[in-house]
Amino acid sequence: MKQFTTALTLFCGAALTTQAWDQGENAIWLEGTVRGNITDQLSASLKEQVRYRESDGFYFYRYTDFGLGWKFSNAWNVTAQYRYVTARKEGGNWVAKPMTHVNVNNKLPLGPVKLSTRLRFGFIDIESADNQTLIWPRFVLNLSKSWVGLNPYAAFETIYDIEQNLVFRNRFEGGLTYSPTKMLSLKMFLMQQLTRTASNSTWTEAYNAGAGATLKF
């Protein structure tokens, strides 16, 4: 496990932009997903994610996401999903931020590598605050074939707020997936996250480390 973590850190460090950051903003993400086919074209998924502040373990974020998917071609599928998000600041109460989102997904083989794209349209209903309508694309590049179940990947996603006309978050991610069986997939990742509150504000930088498991049936 120590060698695995060291290799992952080196891989991700090469993939992400190197800058100074405030370690107090760093977080640990842990997630689990169950996904299965209902028919050849219809699928369902359930995902749970929690986040902790890296410096002191403060538990500040959680979501549960349920979705239904329709595969309308070999390369394309669309999903309709509902995500119940709760978040809090230190000393504050939990605030609900439920999100409804629709995702259009594509997989494009490019010889030895594969490009997966996701275009998300989301609406977040925030208590006692302005709602958000988001456009949220994500791009993932990985190997077309894994090696003994291992497959490194690099990803980028950006989030655009339509009401504010603002790209307020960018994420650069590098990681490694491991599939010991066809039904189980594990992953570890490191992520550079850049956030701003206005078009003329400074980007705030944080680094997130995470792990996840997906069970397919």
Contact 125, 132 (CB under 8 A): no
Q: For residue 34, is it left (φ>0), alpha (ψ between -120 and 50) or beta?
A: beta
Q: What is the pLDDT of residue 130?
A: 83
Per domain, the residue ranges of the chain are 2-188
How does pLDDT run along the chain (217 residues), one tens digit per residue? 444 344 444 444 444 444 445 566 899 999 999 999 999 999 999 999 999 999 999 999 999 999 999 999 999 999 999 999 999 999 999 999 999 999 999 999 999 999 999 999 999 988 777 889 999 999 999 999 999 999 999 999 999 999 999 999 999 999 999 999 999 999 999 999 999 999 999 999 999 999 999 999 9
Name, in order, each residue with C-beta under 8 angstroms of 200's C-beta and a sequence gap of 6 or more.
Answer: none
| Per-residue CA distances from 142 to 116, 163, 173 (Å) | 8, 34, 12
Domain 2-188 class?
mainly beta
Length of the chain: 217
Contact 98, 127 (CB under 8 A): no
pTM: 0.87
d(CA 107, CA 202): 35
